[in-house]
Amino acid sequence: MSGEETLLATASAWLAQDPDAETRAELAALVARADAGDAVATAELHDRFDTRLQFGTAGLRGRIEAGSNRMNRVLVSQAAAGLAAYLREQAAPGVVPSVVIGYDGRKNSAVFATDTAELMAGAGVRAILLPRLLPTPVLAFAVRYFDASAGVMVTASHNPPADNGYKVYLGGEHHGSQIVSPADAAIAAHIERIAVSALAPELPRSTAFEVAGEDVVDAYVAATAAVAPAPAGDQLRVVYTAMHGVGWETTQRVLQSAGYPAPELVTEQIEPDPTFRTVSFPNPEEPGALDLAFATARTTGADIIIANDPDADRLAIAIPDSTEASGYRRLTGNEVGLLLGWRAAQAASADAVGDAAPEGVLACSIVSSPALRTVAEAHRLGFQETLTGFKWISRAPGMVFGFEEALGYLVNPGTVRDKDGISAAVAFLGLATAAAQAGEDVAGLLDRFAETFGSFGSDQISIRYEELSRIGAVMARLRELPPTTVAGAAVTRIDDLIDGFEALPPSDVLRLWLDDGTRVMIRPSGTEPKLKVYVDVQSSEGDAAARAATVAARLAALREELTALVS
């Protein structure tokens, strides 16, 4: 057969095993067009079938369409059967492995979750399906609650509406953290074996899976409310948005249990909506995503805005700011993370006995603000820097707090070993409420942080590419012809993490150090077609206002030159 005949045969074979009427119909139309000589349709088939959507440490994530390089019921069936085989392989003799499965409000999330439950049960794995669509942190909690061997969360988090994903957690000694190497490669090998040896309709299924009761949700709510009960006294006026996701039902219960008054809601975004109709991207970091929240806050005179992403594992905070046209400013992930880290350090110091050093470790990813190390050192706490992602942060030994600049925070590692936008929201609300009752707002807290630890500033540049190959090409060019100066400062050292660096595992990251103390990190996004550049500067010259001005000017100069460097 010719290459095009092989492609059509591969697509037709996939079509024959696809149980989904919608993806089957769109693939059949595409095959017919390609068979008739349509070059565009043929190119589309190549994109869908020349490779597979790879199962890695982020699980699976991609556009919902037919094909091996897309998210669909065939691919999910293969992934579920492969994960089941891995769990059975890892189980002790005579022990039945178990998996708990959650899902959010995205298109096909419930379908993919039910498929997973049936295939797990059919493979002899105890499968527990959460009772309804729920936030990702509830699934991460449920892995430990049920003492399950593994967990699966069907979500694409804050990706575009057409995407969905498949995130895997491990129980036991992993304590409900996301998978890392070598588990990811072992699971991927089982998936590949099943993909070439069995058709999706032939995989054994069973409806003898369990549906969890409300007790798991109740337990999560109780544990999360205990993170920061409302201080007695006047409370803040709060606006909340779920960003068309699944966060509100659970967040509402947590806030009520913790004693906080009900917030004002961004009603247009409060119910789950897989089309995410009011935003271009359902990510609180994206420009315009919080516009409706700002409008609601202006109307209500809110003191603080709390926003979750669609699966509620991330948190965004915005505060009043008269210099902004909207009247509000979204805090950066570093600003929120450093205030929460300071909170955790103060709590650890308060728990220390006598002159003994406090116990615990503050952890953050390599692209997050280096100021957390300063906080840890000031409070005589341990500090650990990890690769990007909570699959690494959550595994820091002795951690009492962890964060990454992409709006992810882990404030209660004894309960959830993943970023949790709901527990972080409660922790931050407790922090802000206590400050307000003492006559200080969040902006004042940030000023006091700078006075205590120095002025740190961070910026992030995200370049989105239509062609994924461009990302690799840019990284290769930077390795071959690295810059010697950036914005007038000499590059004194470059750390290439591609083969690992010191205690860090291998990662496609370049870290540049400049002679003025600036740190620049460049890496591909793990979840989106983006190249990300992270910039961190600091200043200790002059008073607080002078330091802030120096940091702002330096960040502006660096942004302009670094954008040109990676474009």
pLDDT digit string (tens) for 222-280? 999 999 999 999 999 999 999 999 999 999 999 999 999 999 999 999 999 999 999 99
Q: Locate tokens 């957390």: which residue? A: 372
Question: Using CA atoms, how far apart are residues 246 and 266, in angstroms rounded to an integer?
Answer: 14
Q: What are the pLDDT digits (tens) for 3-47?
A: 788 999 999 999 999 999 999 999 999 999 999 999 999 999 999
Question: Using CA atoms, how far apart are residues 33 and 452, in angstroms rounded to an integer?
Answer: 66
Radius of gyration over every alpha carbon of the chain, rounded to an integer in angstroms:
24
Q: What average pLDDT does the structure give for the chain?
A: 94
Q: What are the pLDDT digits (tens) for 353-392?
A: 788 888 999 999 998 999 999 999 999 999 999 988 999 9
Q: For 287-412, where are the alpha helices, taking DSSP H only?
A: 291-300, 333-351, 371-378, 390-393
Cis peptide before 182 (omega within 30 of 0): yes
Q: Locate tokens 């807290």: which residue? A: 445
**Confidence band of 469 (pLDDT split at 50, 70, 90):** confident
**Confidence band of 208 (pLDDT split at 50, 70, 90):** very high
pLDDT value for 1: 60
- DSSP category for residue 56: B
Tokens of 340: 């929460």
**Confidence band of 527 (pLDDT split at 50, 70, 90):** low
Question: Using CA atoms, how far apart are residues 386 and 117, in angstroms rounded to an integer?
Answer: 33
Sheet holding 315-320, edge to edge: 264-265, 238-241, 304-308, 315-320, 328-330
Active site residues: 157
Three-class SS of 234-271: CCCCEEEECCCCCHHHHHHHHHHHHCCCCCEECHHHCC
In the chain, % of residues over pLDDT 90: 86
- DSSP category for residue 279: -
Question: Using CA atoms, how far apart are residues 324 and 55, in angstroms rounded to an integer?
Answer: 42
347: closest CA among 400, 399, 422?
400
Is residue 456 within 8 Å of 371, Cβ to Cβ? yes
Q: What are the pLDDT digits (tens) for 431-458?
A: 999 999 999 999 999 999 988 998 999 9
pLDDT value for 434: 97
pLDDT value for 57: 65
CA 279, chain centre distance (Å): 18
| Residue ranges of domains in the chain, CATH in brackets | 51-213 (3.40.120.10), 231-453 (3.40.120.10), 455-566 (3.30.310.50)
Task: State the virtual CA torsion across 297, 302, 306, 310 in degrees, nearest 10.
Answer: -30
pLDDT value for 357: 84
**Confidence band of 420 (pLDDT split at 50, 70, 90):** very high
For β-strands 98-103 and 150-154, DSSP reports them as parallel
Q: What are the pLDDT digits (tens) for 496-520?
A: 999 888 878 888 999 999 998 899 9
Angle in degrees, 0-180, between the axes of helices 3-17 and 21-35, rounded to the nearest 10: 160
396: closest CA among 376, 379, 378?
376
Q: What are the pLDDT digits (tens) for 58-77?
A: 789 999 999 999 999 999 99
Question: Using CA atoms, how far apart are residues 289 and 286, in angstroms rounded to an integer?
Answer: 6
Entry pTM: 0.93
